[in-house]
Amino acid sequence: MSSDRPVVTLLTASDRPGAAANNESRWLSAAIGEMGLRCDAVYLAGPAGTERSGSVRRIHLGTDRARSSVRSLASYLRQEKPALTVAWPSHIGPFAVVAGALAGAPVVPWEVTILSRDVGDGSDWPMSQRLVPLLQRLTYRLAPCVAANSADVADEVSRRVRTRRIVTIPNSIDVEAVRAAAGSRQGRNGGFRFCAVGRLSAQKGYDIMLDAFAAARERLPEDWELLILGNGPRRDELVERSKALGLAERVSFLGHDENPYPHVASAQVFVHSARWEGFGIALTEALALELPVVATACPGGPREILDDGRYGLLVPSEDPGALADALVRLSADAQLRMELSGRALEGARRYSAETVARRMCELAEELAP
């Protein structure tokens, strides 16, 4: 493989601080650069330009929308000839694949969510993005393969689109960066704290979480509290629900924080109540901070991340009673929390940026002509 071209190009929408896709791009590009290989982190949005740090370049194409990026992306691919371009999230994939076909370059869309659920009944996706499944069906057959971040996402993709091949590439985490960003954990010396992180949407199941805490409240430690970090379309509804359930003094909605890790690290238990989940990056971040975790065994990545219960408790999805019992069990059993905490870091490191970066470089080699 020629050293004068990028081995991997990572294509996503923007480098907005705190955005999950931007974190992923930064972590993976740094890991590939540390392997001594060239990597481009390409963003559709932002003023057009290029910055370089060692063997990693950050390139902004200066386009506001995925559909208007095809020409500039195809021009980049023809000029730079990356061995592999990985494009995500879902609304970028179809346009990136078309650009790759025009340029004769291998572009692999990386599916990171269960799209049929995202655009289905009760979803919070904007109408402008509901054509994405159709666009994928029309374009993904042009890609050399499609990547998926969990086995359930791979199964969903195989049912939805025609493609030559599906490979599984999980989301990554920079374990040491997350731990460093968390800083001091002195907050753990206060009351018994639960924490949850994620967009306030139907997908994340915060209504289920609040119902579970309402059911468990008399069995939890006297000084318990729940911190919820994130914004989204269901915020007002969830705040009202917490009041109606009599939880307003126990539950704090902290909004979006570009560095949520100090809050997460200050908790005794991390809670994840999703109805479905492509992967579950928040879970790996909680494991990196050595938190005991309870999560729903929903479609998607949580079962894989927690290895069917080795790295955290799993409960049926959409079952507030089962989640309530698990919350009570974890809060009452210090030995169980210690055991889960002791295994958590091992669980997170299975998804290190270095491991995922190596998998992408291996795929680049596999796709080489």
The CATH 3.40.50.2000 portion of the chain extends over 8-172+352-367, 181-349
Distance CA 22, CA 218 (A): 41
State in Å, rounded, how far the first CA of the chain is from the last one: 10
Here the tokens at position 173 are 């985490």
Here the tokens at position 295 are 């999560």
Q: Would the CA dihedral through 235, 301, 324, 185 be positive or negative?
A: negative
Determine the average pLDDT of the residues in 237-252: 98
Q: What is residue 191's predicted lDDT score, i.e. its pLDDT?
A: 86
What are the tens digits of pLDDT across the range 309-363? Answer: 999 999 999 999 999 999 999 999 999 999 999 999 999 999 999 999 999 999 9
**Where is 260: in which H helix or E strand?**
none
Please provide the average confidence, as pLDDT, over all residues in the chain. 93
Superfamily for the 8-172+352-367 domain = Glycogen Phosphorylase B; (3.40.50.2000)
185-215 burial, b if ≥16 CB within 10 A, otherwise e? eeeeeeeebbbbbbbbbbbbbbbbbbbbbbb
What are the tens digits of pLDDT across the range 273-320? Answer: 999 999 999 999 999 999 999 999 999 999 999 999 999 999 999 999
Residue 237 pLDDT > 90? yes
Q: Which of 66, 60, 100 is nearest to 83 (CA)?
A: 100
Task: Describe the crossing of helices 320-332 and 206-216 by its angle, rounded to 10 degrees.
Answer: 60
**pLDDT cut 70: percent of the chain above it:** 94
Q: What is residue 127's predicted lDDT score, i.e. its pLDDT?
A: 56
**Partners of 147 in the β-ladder:** 110, 167
Residue 2 pLDDT > 50? no
**Where is 199: in which H helix or E strand?**
none
CATH architecture, range 181-349:
3-Layer(aba) Sandwich (3.40)
Here the tokens at position 27 are 């972590």
Q: How confident is the model at residue 205 (pLDDT cuts 50, 70, 90)?
A: very high
Instruction: Please give the torsion angle defined by the CA atoms of residues 368, 5, 166 and 149, in that order, rounded to the nearest 10 degrees.
Output: 150
Three-state secondary structure call for residue 84:
strand
Location of structure tokens 């049912």: 159
Contact 67, 49 (CB under 8 A): no
Q: What is the CA radius of gyration of the chain?
A: 21
Distance CA 177, CA 193 (A): 23
Distance CA 141, CA 162 (A): 6
Residue 116 pLDDT > 60? yes
Three-state secondary structure call for residue 339:
helix
**Partners of 11 in the β-ladder:** 42, 87
What are the tens digits of pLDDT across the range 149-162? Answer: 999 999 999 999 98
Q: What is residue 190's predicted lDDT score, i.e. its pLDDT?
A: 66
Pairing of strands 49-53, 56-60: antiparallel
Distance CA 148, CA 70 (A): 22
Pairing of strands 56-60, 107-111: unpaired
**pLDDT cut 90: percent of the chain above it:** 82
What are the tens digits of pLDDT across the range 81-104? Answer: 999 999 999 999 999 999 999 999
Contact 290, 341 (CB under 8 A): yes
Three-state secondary structure call for residue 316:
coil
Location of structure tokens 């579950």: 280
- Residue 296 one-letter amino acid: T
Determine the average pLDDT of the residues in 21-32: 93
Distance CA 288, CA 305 (A): 12
Distance CA 128, CA 24 (A): 25
